[in-house]
Structure 1
């Protein structure tokens, strides 16, 4: 709706592009959080495997499931950033 708005004229297109670039940057900054969380989960699972090597299979499986859930927000941030960067403004 932002890019196909009939009220956006040629003069307003620059503002929309600037806001899109800022929004894309903010969404990629938001993608840093899942990376930190995944690193924390991997570190704790490594500690758990060190304490209980017999449960390595279960611990690694649980860690991978947790990381897959956490990564979905990072992928969503990437998709939003790409949509904002590569969308074309429809001006009259």
Structure 2
């Protein structure tokens, strides 16, 4: 196999691992956040509006981390800066 084929395979595997790991932690954080919000709602139902508002803001922040991971992986996968050194 050529160097280009190995480089393509390696970068694809690394991108898949980065997406898997980069999505795993925000998903875990979202689950914990929702669990804690439901616990808070069960303890103080009168504070529902503020808890729900804070929950949605927190979930949006957590989801943005997963989106950043996906964007960076796509940039590395399709416009790999190390490819210039391999082609030379």
Task: Tell me the TM-score normalized by structure 2.
Answer: 0.76
Give the drift of 1:43: 0.9
Q: Using CA pairs under 8 Å that are at least 6 residues apart, name the structure with larger relative contact order, 1 or 2.
A: 1
Mapped partners of 2:72, 2:24: distance in 1: 14
Q: Indicate whether 1:43 and 2:35 are aligned.
A: yes
Give the drift of 1:86: 3.8
Higher helix share: 2
Would the aligned equivalents of 1:21 and 1:84 in 2 still touch at CA under 8 Å? no
Aligned-residue CA RMSD in angstroms?
2.0
Question: Can you give the 5+ residue segments of structure 2 that lack an aligned partner in the other structure?
Answer: none
